[in-house]
Structure 1
Amino acid sequence: MGTFKIEGGHQLKGSIQPQGAKNEALQILCAVLLTPELVTINNIPDIVDVNKLISLLKKLGVKVEQLSRGTYTFQADKLNLEYLESDAFKIDGRGLRGSIMIVGPLLARFGKGYIPKPGGDKIGRRRLDTHFEGLIKLGAKFRYSKEDQFYGVEAEYLTGTYMLLEEASVTGTANIVMAAVLAKGKTTIYNAACEPYLQQLCKMLNRMGAKISGVGSNMLIIDGVESLGGTDHTMLPDMIEIGSWIGLAAMTKSELTITNVSWDDLGVIPNVFRKLGITVEKQGDDIHIPAHTDGYEIQSFIDGSILTISDAPWPGFTPDLLSIILVVATQARGSVLVHQKMFESRLFFVDKLIDMGAKIILCDPHRATVIGHDFKSTLKATTMTSPDIRAGVSLLIAALSAKGTSTIQNIEQIDRGYENIDERLRAIGARIERVE
């Protein structure tokens, strides 16, 4: 198990480029199963979760070739569908949550899709009902083995239909869309997720020959086609990484430039950080964060009440950045209520920040009040364990701002979502060492 040793309290300086988007990559890679033709994908992040999915595709029989750093070709012309019912697949498929999105493409193209209960972050209940209810409405028969937690859907063919999703699940919408593009007739998905990464998936499928309208809205209309062809696709930069670097700059009073951020796809993210008092400057397609030598002050609502920052489906604020917001607020001037609506276990890492000297009141599993130190009292170095990807990076940011040397264990969780994070941070002046 790997460990980071971090000597905090140092200012950073320079520029950093965000990796390709992890959450987009998991959808796009599954979409290669929809066609026997060659698909080229650029800006794929070199992270554990994505590499696990690529390995799973290879075992399924997809021909994978790496052309250069971040660029791969995929061809799913001769698949080994027997692998789906093997004991090896039951182990491999549990390794990451993104594996659930192979089900829709396999069902649409081959009439069957199987998956063991997928893994991922332990941040609370993450039900799969939306995925399978949507596939059932398209005509699939569902089966589930409780003994080995193995899901399956089968259909001779899929038929388009109208559906209203109970929740605007991003991965659920992606799975249903990938199944519906090859269904007979028209499918309407209302209350569909509309995140930029799902928009990217829809645009890619349309280039492959799909007929999807309403992209970017919460109502997608899909006219099924007989088959899809190959295409080229380039990933967006990872908005969660961009938000992480904004928070890092503020907490360490550093001047940083985040390059090639695709401003048009960031939604409310820059403005939420501005509400914490952080200066976020647009320079072309870059973000410039000046050194906050005098700190940053949290805004209040117009009536003077305490600012509340909460997550919501797009175009609301992404839940993946609430952990970053929480840690950044620990050194702000003022107070903020952080309301994590979607996952009931995601705030449980705050005890580690409290151990470091942060003033945080955990109101309940979903809400925490943060009283900022205004840098009058620095966080203390400590030893801690990363519970999940986003909390792990939040603790890393806290450690880089703290005086002294901190240790973060279980850094495999961070590696699941952030590419070579220690090397990239050292390049801008961070004192961080990876110890195996």
Structure 2
Amino acid sequence: MASFEIIGGTRLQGEIVPQGAKNEALQIICAVLLTPEPVTIHNIPDIRDVNKLIELIGHLGAKVEKLSADSYRFEAKDVDLAYMESPEFAKEATALRGSIMILGPLLARFGQARIPKPGGDKIGRRRLDTHFLGLEKLGAKFNYNSKDGFFYIDGSHLQGTYMLLDEASVTGTANILMAAVLAKGTTTIYNAACEPYIQQLCKMLNSMGAKISGIGSNLLTIEGVEALGGTEHRMLPDMIEIGSFIGLAAMTGSEITIKNAAVKELGIIPEIFGRMGIKIEIKGDDIFIPQQYKYELETFIDGSTLTIADAPWPGFTPDLLSIVLVTATQAKGTVLIHQKMFESRLFFVDKLIDMGAQIILCDPHRATVIGLDRRVPLRGIRMTSPDIRAGVALLIAALSAEGTSIIDNVEQIDRGYQYIDQRLNALGAKIRRL
């Protein structure tokens, strides 16, 4: 198990380029299974979760060719469905939650699939009902074997239909969408997720020959086609990493330029950090955060305490609430953080409290942060990363703290942020991997 040793209190300066979007990559890479023709994807992040999925796709029989540091060519001409019966597949798929999204493509193209209960972050219950109910409405039949822990799915007669999703699940929408593109007839998905990453998936599928309309809305219409061809696709920069860098700059009083940030695709993210008093300058497609020693949280118009909550797109993404929370610890003012979607994502605040932050954990979903206004710096401690986003929030806290911190289990951070220690050290951070 690797650890980071961080010497805090250093201001950073310079330019940083965000990696390709992790959440887009997991969908896009699964989509290569929909066609026997070559698919080339650019701006793929070199992170553990994505690399594991690429390995899984290769083990299923797809030809995987690395063209450059962030570009791959996939050719799923000879998919080996028998691999799904192996212990190796069970181990790989269980360890990676994103593996659930191979279901849609495999059912669409081959009419059958099997999958164990997927793993992933320990951030609370993350149900798969939306995936399964949507695929069932298309005609897939699920059978669960309690002895081996596998779901066996027959999708030999997928038929387009109307469906209203019980929640606007991003991965659920992606999975159903990929199954529907090759189903017979027309599928209508209402209450579909409409995140930029879903829009990217739709655009890629259309470039492969799919017929999807309503892109960018929560009402998608898919006319099934006989087959899909190859394509070339470039992924967006990771909005979660961009938000993390904004919070990092504020917490450490640093001057950072985030290059090629695809600003138009960030939605409400810059506005939320602006409500925290953080100065942000948009320069073309770059984001400049000037050195700012103090920042003050806004209140609502009636003077009541600011609340920042997650919501389906175009609301604020839940993946950045951990970053907002840690950034608020040194702001002037008070904010209520309301994590609606996951009941265990705020439990890392006990480590911030140990560092000197003033936080009241109201319940598993809500925390009130009373900003220290730089009067007292956080202090370095030893802690453990519980999940990807909390791990980076703790890293930001450590970089702003007085003294030395050690973060254990940084493999969790590596799952979502490529070479984060090297890239931040290039800006002046003092991070050593143990």
TM norm structure 1 = 0.99
- 1:265 and 2:265 matched: yes
Backbone CA RMSD of aligned residues: 0.5
How many angstroms does 1:300 deviate by?
0.1
Alignment correspondent of 1:35: 35
Distance between the aligned counterparts of 1:243 and 1:7, measured in 2? 22
Alignment correspondent of 1:417: 416
Distance between the aligned counterparts of 2:422 and 2:402, measured in 1? 21
Mapped contact 1:139–1:159 kept (Cα < 8 A): yes
SS in 2 for 1:406: strand
Distance between the aligned counterparts of 1:323 and 1:156, measured in 2? 42
- 1:352 and 2:375 matched: no
Identity of aligned residues (%): 71
Alignment correspondent of 1:330: 329
Mapped contact 1:108–1:157 kept (Cα < 8 A): no
Gaps of 5+ in 2: none
Mapped contact 2:19–2:238 kept (Cα < 8 A): yes
Distance between the aligned counterparts of 1:368 and 1:402, measured in 2? 21
Distance between the aligned counterparts of 2:57 and 2:372, measured in 1? 48
Alignment correspondent of 2:98: 98
Gaps of 5+ in 1: none
How many angstroms does 1:153 deviate by?
1.4
- 1:244 and 2:248 matched: no
Mapped contact 1:389–1:416 kept (Cα < 8 A): yes
CA deviations 1:389-429 (Å, max 9, x no partner) are 00000000000000101000000000000000000001000
- How do 1:176-187 and structure 2 match up within 5 A? 176-187=176-187
Corresponding pairs, count: 434
**Which contiguous aligned blocks of 4+ residues in structure 1 show a shift greater than 2 angstroms?**
146-149
CA deviations 1:285-331 (Å, max 9, x no partner) are 000000012x0000000000000000000000000000000000000
Distance between the aligned counterparts of 1:148 and 1:66, measured in 2? 34
More divergent stretch after superposition (98-107 vs 88-97): 88-97
- 1:229 and 2:220 matched: no
Alignment correspondent of 1:306: 305
Distance between the aligned counterparts of 1:55 and 1:250, measured in 2? 37
Alignment correspondent of 1:161: 161
Mapped contact 1:333–1:373 kept (Cα < 8 A): yes
Query: What letter matches 2:277 in structure 1?
Result: G
- How do 1:162-201 and structure 2 match up within 5 A? 162-201=162-201
SS in 1 for 2:67: strand
Distance between the aligned counterparts of 1:24 and 1:189, measured in 2? 19
CA deviations 1:189-227 (Å, max 9, x no partner) are 000000000000000000000000000000000000000
Mapped contact 1:333–1:372 kept (Cα < 8 A): yes
SS in 2 for 1:277: coil
Alignment correspondent of 2:394: 395
TM norm structure 2 = 0.99
SS in 2 for 1:68: coil
Distance between the aligned counterparts of 1:82 and 1:234, measured in 2? 31
How many angstroms does 1:148 deviate by?
2.9
Alignment correspondent of 1:361: 360
Alignment correspondent of 1:44: 44
Mapped contact 1:276–1:296 kept (Cα < 8 A): yes
Mapped contact 2:143–2:153 kept (Cα < 8 A): yes
Mapped contact 1:389–1:413 kept (Cα < 8 A): yes
Distance between the aligned counterparts of 1:201 and 1:246, measured in 2? 26
Distance between the aligned counterparts of 1:390 and 1:147, measured in 2? 34
